[in-house]
Structure 1
Amino acid sequence: MTLSLALCLDAPMQSWGIRSRFTTRETTTEPTKSGVVGLLGAALGISRDDQAALSELAALRMGVRVDREGILERDYHTAQNVPTTAGSGHRTVVSQRYYLADAVFLVVLQNEDTELLTRAAEAIQRPHWPLCFGRKSFLPARPLITSGRADHLRTGAGLQEKPLETVLAEHQWLETCPLAHQRELKAIEKGKTGTLRSMVECHPSTPGAEPRRDQPLSFARGDRRFTSRAVLSGHVPLTPSLISAGEPRVPEQAHH
């Protein structure tokens, strides 16, 4: 049986870095494999030194659908009294850190090991350590997986007995703004179907495959190592069924 796990990654700010150069911390425009593995590791309570357990998570196949493109932003961090490399004094260091604002992603993980995905789904709802999206201060804006309550915000559907590609193509759109829904439905009525950008892990020999150096090998302190994996970029049609699958919840007006 092919089992997939669908997660919603929504936050005011997210950061998914592949490389950092001196005082510059970059971010990609969608979640990285290393970042999602770290997220699952935190939920399951796996130590960064537990190589065997992290390797199991790293073996999961991952696909991402960009349900709302984020805005690339930059902030500055200033650290004072940083020792110089010569050790003869102190200095002030200014670093530039990039992040995505207002992005929403559907992340789907697939594996034949149903027990592993089941444990991961349960842990996501009751995490051992707090969950964050790239930095400790970047917290989720809504649950990653639905609790099944009828009044719940639309979010990740959780465990699905479907292949990864099918979930990406059929999962409800995670955008919660009613105006965005109305705009896209009106565009479809005029014959203009929108698309959602996707990135799916694939075999290196797949035509059009691109390397992405975010496959984690070790998270141990002082021994963080990564290798490359192959991903295939594509697009998912934003159909009426994706848009209208469950109405977005409209916040109640405060009563005075």
Structure 2
Amino acid sequence: MKTLTIKLTAPLQSYGNAATFERRTTNTYPSKSAVIGMIAAALGYQRTDSRIVTLNELSFAVRIDQVGRHLADFQTVEWKKNVRKVTYRDYLQDAVFVVAIGSENDPLINNIEWALRHPRFQLFLGRRANVPAGVLQLQEFADATPITVLQKMTWQAAPWYRRRHQRPVLDILADADLLAGHQSILVSDRVVSFDQRNRQYGLRAMAKTKVKLTSLDSTEDESETQHDAMKFL
């Protein structure tokens, strides 16, 4: 199996687990359907494209490297003439996740990586306004499952976060078949349709495990404090 990792970080992210006109909540981690939506956008698929549902077959796992803080935003909306409603939108602030997708179809993973580097449509993290914080950081791993990659990959949290959490235990949430022997739950996270007139999700089995890291397991030099906003241009 070939695995591709995607580091997801942005000032705001939101991965809805319930949505009404008045309130749209967020999970504390990226949903598989949200990642599939991002991949589909990168590949140039329209919302009604039948190829989207085939992306459900990708093996999926996500590691929470930096826990986001909850933010609730409210807006006053004019619903009908002289009728106003307050609506709420929930977000995660300053979160960092590492998503790992895998497949026995190596060319598919190669195509997804190329598309994420050269997206056809705008990429966003859960909601259209939540764009990634710069160019996506991607890595490919041959002959490795998403779980084995996330169990060994260096800690991706920001330096200030690592200083506050010296010996963290990170959560990994994955397709249940990747974590045999772990208790699983059903979540409404299998894409049936992204059509805005008939959006539908089915159930998939998800399981959870943990991995221990030390403050030395990091990829960034803590002495580096300067941010060059133009370095990717």
TM-score strictly above 0.5: yes
Instruction: Structure 2 unaligned segments of length 5 or more: list them.
Output: 229-233
Deviations 1:28-49 (A, max 9, x none): 0000111101000111110111
Out of 121, 126, 130, which is 1:138 matched to?
130
Contact 2:162 2:215 in 1 (8 A): no
- Please give the secondary structure, in 2, of the residue aligned with 1:231: strand
Residue 114 of structure 1 is matched in structure 2 by 106
Deviations 1:70-115 (A, max 9, x none): 01110102222x33xxxxx452122111110110000000111111
CA distance in 2, matches of 1:237, 1:101: 23
State whether structure 2 residue 129 is matched by structure 1 residue 129.
no
Equivalent residues in 2 for 1:25-40, closer than 5 Å: 25-40=24-39
Residue 198 of structure 2 is matched in structure 1 by 223
State whether structure 2 residue 56 is matched by structure 1 residue 58.
yes
Normalized against structure 1, the TM-score is what?
A: 0.81
Normalized against structure 2, the TM-score is what?
A: 0.89
- Please give the secondary structure, in 2, of the residue aligned with 1:137: coil
Residue 187 of structure 2 is matched in structure 1 by 212
- Following TM superposition, by how much is the alpha carbon of 1:249 offset from its aligned partner in structure 2, in angstroms? 7.4
Q: State the 4+ residue runs in structure 1 displaced beyond 6 angstroms.
A: none
- Please give the secondary structure, in 2, of the residue aligned with 1:99: strand
The code of the aligned residue for 2:140 comes to L
CA distance in 1, matches of 2:150, 2:83: 49
- Following TM superposition, by how much is the alpha carbon of 1:121 offset from its aligned partner in structure 2, in angstroms? 0.4
Residue 231 of structure 2 is matched in structure 1 by none
Deviations 1:9-39 (A, max 9, x none): 0001000002213411010000011110100
Contact 2:182 2:208 in 1 (8 A): no
The code of the aligned residue for 2:88 comes to Q
- Aligned pair in 2 of structure 1 residues 176, 113: CA closer, same or farther (>3 Å)? same
Contact 1:170 1:242 in 2 (8 A): no
CA distance in 2, matches of 1:27, 1:240: 29
What number of residue pairs does the alignment pair up?
226
CA distance in 1, matches of 2:29, 2:209: 13
- Please give the secondary structure, in 2, of the residue aligned with 1:20: coil
State whether structure 2 residue 84 is matched by structure 1 residue 92.
yes
- Following TM superposition, by how much is the alpha carbon of 1:206 offset from its aligned partner in structure 2, in angstroms? 4.6
> Please, what is the CA RMSD of the aligned residues?
2.2
CA distance in 2, matches of 1:209, 1:68: 23
The code of the aligned residue for 1:104 comes to V
Contact 1:216 1:226 in 2 (8 A): yes
Equivalent residues in 2 for 1:1-256, closer than 5 Å: 2-51=1-50, 53-80=51-78, 82-83=79-80, 89-145=81-137, 156=138, 158-161=139-142, 162-177=144-159, 179-181=160-162, 187=166, 193-203=167-177, 206-239=181-214, 242-243=217-218, 245=219, 247=221, 250-252=224-226
CA distance in 1, matches of 2:112, 2:214: 30
- Aligned pair in 2 of structure 1 residues 215, 194: CA closer, same or farther (>3 Å)? same
User: Identity of aligned pairs, percent?
Assistant: 28
The code of the aligned residue for 1:42 comes to A
Instruction: Kindly name which structure, 1 or 2, has the bigger radius of gyration based on alpha carbons.
Output: 1
Contact 2:66 2:157 in 1 (8 A): yes
- Please give the secondary structure, in 2, of the residue aligned with 1:117: helix
- Aligned pair in 2 of structure 1 residues 174, 26: CA closer, same or farther (>3 Å)? same
